[in-house]
Amino acid sequence: MGLGPMLLLALMEGLVLAAVLALAASGLSLVFGVMRVVNVAHGAFFMLGAVAAYVVAAWLGGPRWAGFLAALAMAPLAVALLAMLADILILRRIAHAPEATIVATIGLMYMIEQGTLTLFGPDARAVAAPFDFRLQLPWFGYSGYKLFVVLAAVVLLLALWWLMARSKAGLVMRATQLDPDVARAFGINVDRVYSGVFAFGAALAAIAGVLIVPIQQAHYLMGASTLLLSFIVVIIGGLGSLPGTLLAALVIGLSDGIISMFWSPTLAKIIATLLVTLVLVFRPQGLFGASRA
């Protein structure tokens, strides 16, 4: 295959990765931005979204698009509920202390993974894409569903932007992010905002999981690589900055696509991790993060 077609394929693949990463990483970025905590269980929520999509689709039966739409609606809700419970029962009890939250969410991740193994099993399960459409280019074929994923991610991220910038809920979240004490003084129930944000972050990860599951499969260990990449994206973009996260997702996704295609995926991961190291050394606040005094 010629250089041109290879580059095109690389960019298309990279765009799909960027789309999924953008969704997953925004959830992580939001949680850190507002709550100032690191959620190591984020990959587990992503995985739960995929697993829940399988469960919903299998239970509903019927035409594929119906199962998929139901999954898109129900899986993030279920995962958000679980995350909210986790925040109320665990994180609130440790007052969202940073180190304690890291340890607690590691434990949560293990519990979710092993629980999924016990209930869902060790096998990878497929979920059919809502529609079968192949784009046939002169040099290669491409799944139409993958292009849909990119489109869906763009729509969802626009919705997220509107929510953060234009809605009251977004205003409350941004206020809490700026200064939780002042927000409290203004009558905002910070604990409730935290639970809501944690749940919302998990829901974003779960949506990413639902979108990806027809492309990959649902498997109880699938959260690990997403977790790593989400962290890379969030650190490079700037903790707490959504535009930064989106830009970083695009950079990481496209570069991964190109480097993987022309060299090797391992090299792509090495470079992504190197980028994080450089950012941490030279610009710890990331591309767009505010430097903390």
Q: Minimum distance between the CB of residue 209 and other proteins, rounded to whole angstroms?
A: 13
Looking at the Cβ atoms of 6 and 169, the one nearer to other proteins is 6
Alpha carbons within 13 angstroms on the beta-carbon side of residue 64 total: 9
Q: Counting contacts by CB under 8 A, is residue 53 touching other proteins?
A: no
Looking at the Cβ atoms of 9 and 279, the one nearer to other proteins is 9
Q: Minimum distance between the CB of residue 237 and other proteins, rounded to whole angstroms?
A: 22
Q: In this chain, which of 46, 194, 219, 252 binds other proteins, going by CB under 8 A?
A: 219
Q: Counting contacts by CB under 8 A, is residue 121 touching other proteins?
A: yes
Residues touching other proteins: how many (CB under 8 A)? 33
Interface residues for other proteins in 133-152 (CB under 8 A)?
A: 134, 136, 140-143
Looking at the Cβ atoms of 141 and 187, the one nearer to other proteins is 141
Closest among 43, 37, 52 to 24, alpha carbons compared: 43
Looking at the Cβ atoms of 213 and 248, the one nearer to other proteins is 213
Looking at the Cβ atoms of 127 and 175, the one nearer to other proteins is 127
Q: In this chain, which of 222, 239, 246, 252 binds other proteins, going by CB under 8 A?
A: 222
Looking at the Cβ atoms of 101 and 230, the one nearer to other proteins is 230
Q: Counting contacts by CB under 8 A, is residue 228 touching other proteins?
A: no
Q: Counting contacts by CB under 8 A, is residue 21 touching other proteins?
A: no
Chain residues in the site for other proteins (CB under 8 A): 1, 5-6, 9-10, 13, 17, 114, 117, 121-124, 126, 128, 134, 136, 140-143, 215-217, 219, 221-222, 225, 257, 260-261, 265-266
